[in-house]
Amino acid sequence: MKRTAFYRSRWLVLTFSIICIMSILLAGCAQQAATKPAETPKTPIKIGGTLPLTGIYADTGKEVYGGYQHWLEVVNASGGMLGRKVELTIYDDASDVKNAVTLLEKLITVDKVDLLAGGYPGTCASAQMSVAEQYKKVYVSMGGHMTSFTKGYTYSFGAPPLMGEWWFEGIYRWLGTVPQAERPKSVAIFTMNNPIGAALLADAVERFKSLGIEVVINEKYDLPLASADSIVAKAKAANAEVFVSGGLLPDGVLTVKACKTQGYNPKLYLHGIGSITRGWVAQLGSDGNYICSGNSMSYRLPYPGVDELNKWYAANNPPASNAPDYFLFGYCWMQVLQKGVEGSQSLDDTKIRDWLKSHEISVIGGKWTFDSRGLPPTIDFATQIIDGKVELIWPPDVRTHAPVYPKPAWGK
């Protein structure tokens, strides 16, 4: 009995000692855990750029900004980029090129942003491309027509570009499929006298000639256009079967009204930028139908993600039924930047640039590879206003409506 009691007491002492040691160890671990600093959150990736949120380009500049903001919401909802949230700073350059340059340099040198967002319109984008090259920063935007991509810049991308030189490319290619006997025989070309007009119709004379269409008039007009009566009278007197006005919305509206008033109804009517804007049908009604144009972005494109953006935009911006083109431009430019970051797994602009120029990407604007200039293959979307809607008539793989040719009479 004494031996049993002795072992029992030893066992109790040993057990008590073990409990004390474990308590001390656990208390130490708890103290270490309490004093260990919390894990530092990853710093956000900072992206910065400028847009015309006021001034003459504000209407479309705000749409680009909307595309940027929605991209930011989408990317952060999915965890950001490289496991880090994204912050976006956009300064208002008030539609002024000097402001756009100064503010972009501030973002790079003072704000120390990690990445750049592209600017708008082409005048600002072209000037900012030079800044981006100087600081070796990737810059994705519309560019400033073809001239801005022939200066040897290596960090700039048009994704997609709003390229005047490509504006009527789809029309030329579609006309090439029309049997020679059915093609129009003559064309009258009138171009607004500015860099945009020059880019829109840079090679128009040669292209029409190559299609067997005689150029009977090739003239420029100054903006603002007070009256289109004399322009239309010349085209009608020349009996031109194609009428081209390379212009904006106000002069385009004047020209359509003058054509109707004078009873001039060409077989094919091409207009520049104005006919794809929302104001075209609003101001012209059914008279705005059957006018052809071009673009490098459209809410009608059959590419992944476009339908979702249309639905989101319509739900959040009533009474809109689809996303506007410039909203889609903005979203797409940020999408391309994201592809470069995630593809290269880096915020190093040189690595991002090199990855984008060596890989095919798929975005809402299409599937592309970039050349040494930072351009995708020639984009040849052709449009026509049909029943008040901007329809895609070329190329066949994105077509939403067959071309209506020849143009019906006014009011039909």
> Is 144 inside a domain boundary?
yes
How many domains are contained in the chain?
2
Residue 302 predicted with pLDDT over 90: yes
> Is 358 inside a domain boundary?
yes
The reply to whether 97 and 174 lie within a common domain is: no
The reply to whether 57 and 159 lie within a common domain is: yes
pLDDT, average across residues 230-240? 98
- State the pLDDT at residue 33: 44
Q: Which domain holds residue 73?
A: 45-163+303-368
pLDDT, average across residues 173-190? 97
pLDDT, average across residues 323-348? 97
The reply to whether 80 and 209 lie within a common domain is: no
> Is 117 inside a domain boundary?
yes
Residue 105 predicted with pLDDT over 50: yes
Answer yes or no: are the C-beta atoms of 214 and 186 closer than 8 Å.
yes
The reply to whether 281 and 146 lie within a common domain is: no
279 vs 82 pLDDT, higher one: 82
> Is 64 inside a domain boundary?
yes
Each residue's pLDDT tens digit, 2-53: 444 444 444 444 444 544 444 544 445 445 444 444 444 689 999 999 999 9
The reply to whether 211 and 175 lie within a common domain is: yes
The reply to whether 81 and 179 lie within a common domain is: no
The reply to whether 189 and 77 lie within a common domain is: no
Residue 135 predicted with pLDDT over 50: yes
The reply to whether 158 and 173 lie within a common domain is: no
The reply to whether 172 and 267 lie within a common domain is: yes
Question: What CATH number has the domain bearing residue 103?
Answer: 3.40.50.2300
| Confidence tier at 164 by pLDDT (50, 70, 90) | very high
**Which range is least confidently modeled, 129-143, 243-257, 272-286?**
272-286
**Which range is least confidently modeled, 7-21, 80-94, 236-250, 393-407?**
7-21
Residue 312 predicted with pLDDT over 60: yes
- State the pLDDT at residue 8: 47
> Is 321 inside a domain boundary?
yes
Residue 408 predicted with pLDDT over 60: yes
Query: How far is residue 290's CA from residue 267's CA, in Å, rounded to a whole number?
Result: 10
- State the pLDDT at residue 258: 98
- State the pLDDT at residue 274: 86
Each residue's pLDDT tens digit, 344-391: 999 999 999 999 999 999 999 999 999 999 999 999 999 999 999 999
The reply to whether 387 and 266 lie within a common domain is: yes
The reply to whether 76 and 136 lie within a common domain is: yes
| Confidence tier at 273 by pLDDT (50, 70, 90) | confident
* The residue count for the chain: 412
The reply to whether 62 and 80 lie within a common domain is: yes
**Which range is least confidently modeled, 73-77, 93-97, 198-202, 370-374?**
198-202
Characterize 147-169 residue by residue with b for buried, 16 or more Cβ atoms within 10 angstroms of its Cβ, and e for exposed.
Answer: bbbeeebbbbbbbbbbbbbbbbb
> Is 23 inside a domain boundary?
no
pLDDT, average across residues 306-333? 96
- State the pLDDT at residue 41: 64
pLDDT, average across residues 140-151? 96
> Is 387 inside a domain boundary?
yes
Each residue's pLDDT tens digit, 189-230: 999 998 889 999 999 999 999 999 999 999 999 999 999 999
> Is 22 inside a domain boundary?
no
